[in-house]
Amino acid sequence: MTITTIDAMILDRLHAILDEDGAVLTNKSSRFNRARVPAPFPVHRWEEFIPDVVVLPRTTEHVAQIVRLANEFAIPIVPRAGGTGLADGAVPMRGGIVVDIKRMDQIKEIDLVNNTVTVGPGINMQTLNRSLKPHGVIYPDDPASYACALVGGRIGTSGLSLLGARYGHTRDLVISFEIVTPTGEVIEVGDGGGRKIRKSSTGYHLKHLFMGHQGTLGIVTEATLELVPRAEAEFAAFFLFEDYDTAYRTFANLAKSGLATLGGVMMFDPEKVDYLRRDDEAYIIQPEWVKAVCAASLFGTKIEVEAAAPKVMELGRSLGGRYIGDEIASGDWAARHDRYANPLHGRDKNGNVTPMSWHCEDAAIPYSEVPAVLRKWHTIARKYCDQYDIFDDWGAFQYTNGAHKPWADVLVEIDMGLWEDRMDEESWQAFVSLKREIAQVAIDHGGSMSSCHGATRAGDAELVPTEMGASWEVMKTIKRALDPNNVMNPGKQSLDEAYRKVTR
Amino acid sequence: MTSDEHPPTDAAVGLGTPKRLGEAEQSFVDTWHENATGCFSSGHKFCREVCPVTQVTRNENHTPTAFHSNVIALEKGHLDVEDVADDYVHCTQCGGCEVRCPNTLMVGDFYRARTQTVKVVRAMRALMVDKGLDRENWKIWNRLTNELKNEPVLGVTGDQPNGQAQVRDWAQGLDIPIGGDTILFVDCEAAYYRTSIPRATAQILQLAGYEFGLMNEQWCCGGPAAEMGYVEQSMRFARHNIDDWRKSDVKRIIAIEPHDYVHFTEDYPSYFGDEFDFEVVQIIDLVAELIRDGRLKLTTPIERVVTYHDPCRLNKRKGIHEAPREILRAIPGLTFKDVDRVTQWSYCSGGGGGLPIEKPEITAEISRRRLEKAAELQVDTLVSACVWSERPLSAAGDDIGIDVKDIIELVAESAGIEIGGRTRP
């Protein structure tokens, strides 16, 4: 086990590396504010997740020297970008050094000839796109957290873009990146070599090894990203259904349409519609018969989108779906990021309104398995709601998961409300076991327990070996080889197992 | 997360054991718990990238999220006021975080609910003053304000001509009466530093035949004191001013400055309740109306290529963004390159909330970035409507050759007025 020993000598070394006022932070507010990511959080145990020191580097060389220092003295080191991840990836489990990379937010090169932009990992996508706008291009990584997530965190979690069907997800849109490995070497990883090369047949494709590393294999210090032409036209249509099954089949018809401009297909299940109806202030009233919603978006040139839009309307209505109307369709789609905010209240068992935090459990599920998974998930949710009066089932939504191939696997998320003010150790453990049961269902049905959040929060983390199966051994071998002292974000994804002595 | 794997740490600063709260802290926590929970329990941080201070410092301590999170940490006894005092200095009280908060956006339309961050910052600063943890430069500023009855905008050292004796010097030769139904309230920065603005304002109103007077004895509005946490001083100054208005039977106050407008429409009513029955008019709304009604004719072409800086307190705090655009479009000769008000949620001059007094280097950098945005539009002039923004913006503009003008100055020029006064000492 890694032991934290941050003493005056280490702090002196950090000060010498960074040589800037306010770049090495040991005060309590700096540390408490970097102990958490979005809720829920075991706030009754906040003090267990406090880093000993926070550093704010500006350059790759800074990061490399800090990592070498941590490795030399076996000090835990945790990279932190936006801190907006939903799976505690950036939460330090064992104190140590938090490397907050927000100051590495420069745009280093806009290459309009090769359609790339090279940035520091601390830049936000919306901010980046404002700078790209005059050039007629966009970096189309579009998560719900578009306004706050940072490029480094997107790589760390291998995020999902709401426009992924059209433009790809983070791993498709990041062409190559520079990463400081756990022993402090600076390497560039892509498909093969070449910072701006999108496809290679040379060597191992290391980009994919480090993509979604959850801070366990290093700290990203620079990334070269895809630039695509700004869409001339955008179209979104929402359809209303009397039952889940018709909406589910319509989802497939849209996803399998073969329309190249398809940005994504989304749907809400009856529990989600119920929840919006009862507790969402921003919900625009729909008739009582509405039990499910399915929506699709298109992005591209005017000539493509105008031709494809009637096809979306036809498919959306083909099984009896009713179009919601232009105003709500365009408004709801435009609000896709802000709708990330759920109402901050839910209901207790007696239907009383209670203040609640939002938790979102994601998984990637084969299309054929989605209805069965959702039935099991809601059964599990109901069990916990009955047993602990601090949970509320806020319904599920699904989203096309495959980059450029929207027709098969599906991102499925169930939203749960948690009465966090009432959280104690017993209910926290109940939450963890709720998560574990939900994750196990995903694995049982041939899915992956996380499509985009990461399997780093308790409840998921224990199941990583199960999901990885025989390849878990390879994963441990890689981790041990790259991080011999287990300094890089230790305690995540059950990777401590890589360091356990084997008895023969 | 599992707890059993966390070994004891040997941190440079110990975490200590959770403390019991004192009375003042308990009251602060009780007041702000629910508001803070709304943020803490989601933790989206949509506010971070619009926050002008965070854009510069890139330090999570300075984010609105941290300001709310600290309330919870205080409540749990993990942090105390001293631990967080410096963090809460890093705020211009622009309100960008509040309008960008998804909680505000998604429930605000329906319930007029708004995540409150500016008030949290002000309440924390008041706690800091109570505990003697207020910042040194703020202490000096507010002590001098207390002595002079106006802010020491011309400098905090040596003798400066900015006391009560000089409070109406800007109006020399304009023949403005004392008292009347309507009072022109002239902000300290405008009265002593950028005197061209009150002169332009007064002459526009005179030209349009709009009657107004000045106060018997105008003290600082008290707003800056409130922003920095000196609540008692703020209330005392407010009391003086409304007594002065009452003495002259005043009905209407024209606020020529957005900070004053916020203070008169939010703080004064909260200090005085029903006793505060004055009508408060923002000069931009009034001038737009005078132009619209044909009472003010803009005939002199202003051959400038301009963009407009939405002052935070007008746009983000009070939702005033149409009137200034209407005014600019009415000025002949002007080429106006607009940037929409929502994009400008993330723009600021850094001139508010006491930031330039305590952290001038951050203010300067915020202004530099604002001028950089203006330069991308290839304009020769940045137009603002807030005198407090114009000092740091002008300094940044000087460096890249962009003029900074007040919208009222442009209106006056276009109305053929010889303004007089000065834009800097």
- On chain B, the residues whose CB falls within 8 A of the CB of A49 are 1, 6
Residue B102 and residue A340: Cβ atoms within 8 Å? yes
Nearest C-alpha in B relative to A94: B6
Tens of pLDDT, residue by residue over A452-475, are 999 998 999 999 999 999 999 999
- Residue B148: what residue type? L
Name residue, tokens 């110990």. B14
| Contact at CB, B60 and A50, closer than 8 angstroms | no
In whole angstroms, give the CA distance from residue A85 to residue A93. 15
pLDDT score recorded for residue B7: 43
Residue A109's alpha-carbon distances to A113, A186, A190, A223, B179, in angstroms, are 11, 20, 18, 11, 61
- A-chain residues within 8 Å CB-CB of B109? 282
Q: Which of A184-188, A368-372, A500-504, B332-336 has the lowest mean pLDDT?
A: A500-504
pLDDT average, residue stretch B48-52: 96
Q: Which of A33, A145, A457 sits opposite B44 (nearest CB)?
A: A145
pLDDT at A40 over 70: yes
Residues of B in contact with A43 (CB under 8 A): 40, 72, 76
pLDDT mean across residues, chain A: 94
For residue A140, pLDDT beyond 50: yes
The rounded mean pLDDT for chain B is 93
Considering CB atoms only, which of B40, B42, B49 is closest to A127? B49
Residues in chain B, overall count: 425
Dihedral of the alpha carbons of A28, A4, A15, A124, in degrees to the nearest 10:
-70
In B276-355, DSSP assigns E strands to: 279-282, 305-308, 335-336
Are A38 and B111 an interchain contact pair (Cβ–Cβ within 8 Å)?
no
Q: How far is B338 from chain A (nearest CA, A)?
A: 15
DSSP string covering A477-500 = HHHHHH-TT--BSTTSTTGGGGGS
The Cα–Cα gap between A137 and A413 comes to 31
Per-residue pLDDT for B192 more than 90? yes
β-partners of residue B214 are B178
CB contacts, 8 Å: B70 with chain A: 29, 32-33
Q: How far apart are CA B272 and CA A139, in angstroms?
A: 52
- Chain A: closest CA distance from residue B121 (Å): 15
Q: Please tell me the predicted confidence (pLDDT) of residue B109.
A: 58
Greatest C-alpha distance within chain A: 70
**How many A-B residue pairs are in contact by the CB < 8 A criterion?**
192
> In the predicted model, what is the mean pLDDT of residues A477-486?
98
Check residue B41 and give its pLDDT.
79
Whether pLDDT at B10 is above 60: no
Model pLDDT for residues B245-287, shown as the tens digit of each residue: 999 999 999 999 999 999 999 999 999 999 999 999 999 999 9
For B154-188, the pLDDT digits (tens) are 999 877 778 899 999 999 999 999 999 999 999 99
pLDDT at B9: 45
> Does residue B197 come out as left (phi exceeding 0), alpha (psi in the -120 to 50 range) or beta?
alpha
Residue A286's identity, in one-letter code, is Q
Chain A closest-CA separation from residue B23 CA (Å): 21
User: Of all residues in chain A, what percent carry a pLDDT higher than 90?
Assistant: 85
> Is the CB of B9 less than 8 angstroms away from the CB of A356?
no
Q: Determine whether B276 is exposed, middle or buried from the number of CB atoms within 10 Å of its CB (0-12, 13-18, 19+).
A: middle
Verify whether the Cβ–Cβ distance B10 to A147 is below 8 Å.
no
pLDDT of res. A285: 85
- pLDDT at residue A331 above 90? no
Ramachandran sector of residue A19 (left: φ over 0; alpha: ψ -120 to 50; beta: rest): left
More confident residue, A354 or B208: B208
pLDDT of residue B162: 83
- pLDDT classification of A129: cutoffs 50, 70, 90: very high
Instruction: Please tell me the distance in Å from A432's CA to the nearest CA on chain B.
Output: 9
For residue B7, give the nearest of A3, A22, A124 by CB distance: A3
Nearest CA in chain B to A146: B46
CA distances A205 to A120, A183, A193, A482, Å, are 22, 20, 9, 16
**Alpha carbons B185 and B283: distance in angstroms, whole number:** 10
Residue B229 is classified by DSSP as T
pLDDT digits (tens, 9 = 90+) for A158-174: 999 999 999 999 999 99
Cβ atoms within 10 Å, residue A303 = 10
> Within a 10 A sphere around the Cβ of A493, how many other Cβ atoms?
25
> Under a CB-based contact definition with an 8 Å cutoff, are residues A337 and A271 in contact?
no
SS3 sequence of B186-197: CCHHHHHHCCHH
pLDDT of residue A1: 42
pLDDT given at position A3: 46
Contact: A355, B41; criterion CB under 8 Å: yes
| Subunit contact A102:B34, Cβ cutoff 8 A | no
Q: How many CB atoms lie within 10 A of CB B263?
A: 29
Confidence of residue B110 (pLDDT cuts 50, 70, 90): low
Residue B362 in tokens:
């951050």
Most B CBs within 10 A among A15, A33, A99, hence the mutation to make, goes to A33
Out of B45, B79, B87, name the one closest to residue A84 (CB).
B45
What is the chain A residue with the closest CA to B14? A28
The stretch A34-43 carries a mean pLDDT of 85
| Assigned token pair, B196 | 């061209």
Cα B72 to Cα A32, B29, B31, B40, distances in angstroms: 11, 8, 12, 8
Q: Which helix (H) or strand (E) holds B420?
A: none
A33 CB neighbours in chain B (<8 A) are 60-61, 65-66, 69-70
Chain A environment of B61 (Cβ under 8 Å)? 25, 29-30, 33
Separation CA B398–CA B402 (nearest Å): 6
Mutate to test the interface with B, among A24, A29, A426 (most CBs of B within 10 A): A29
Encoded tokens for A35: 């102990």
Q: SS3 for B51?
A: coil
**Is the Cβ pair A27, B13 closer than 8 Å?**
yes
pLDDT score for B3: 42
Q: Which two tokens stand for residue B191?
A: 């009265």
Measuring CA to CA, how many Å separate A67 from each of A61, A139, A428, A495, B170?
A: 10, 30, 33, 19, 60
Confidence of residue B4 (pLDDT cuts 50, 70, 90): very low
Q: How far from B349 is each of A294, B188, B201, B353, CA to CA, in Å?
A: 44, 18, 22, 11
Position B111 scores a pLDDT of 63
pLDDT at position A112 is 98
Search chain B and give the residue with CA nearest A56: B59
Can you tell me the ipTM of this complex?
Answer: 0.94
3-state secondary structure A146-204: CCCCEHHHHHHHCCCCCCHHHHCCHHHHEEEEEEECCCCCEEEECCCCCCCCCCCCCCC
Structure tokens at B256: 């020529």
User: What is the tens place of the pLDDT at every residue in B205-226?
Assistant: 999 999 999 999 999 999 999 9
* Residues of chain A contacting residue B2, judged by C-beta atoms under 8 Å apart: 93, 458, 491
Predicted confidence at residue B13, as pLDDT, reads 61
The pLDDT value recorded for residue B6 is: 43
The reply to whether residue B12 touches residue A8, judged by beta carbons under 8 angstroms, is yes
pLDDT of residue A340: 63
pLDDT of residue A502: 62
Mind telling me how many Å the CA of B77 is from chain A's nearest CA? Answer: 11
Run of H or E residues at A79: strand A77-80
Q: How far is B336 from chain A (nearest CA, A)?
A: 18
What is the secondary structure of A287-321 as a DSSP string?
Answer: -TT--EEEEEEEEE-HHHHHHHHHHHHHHHHTTS-
pLDDT at B12: 52
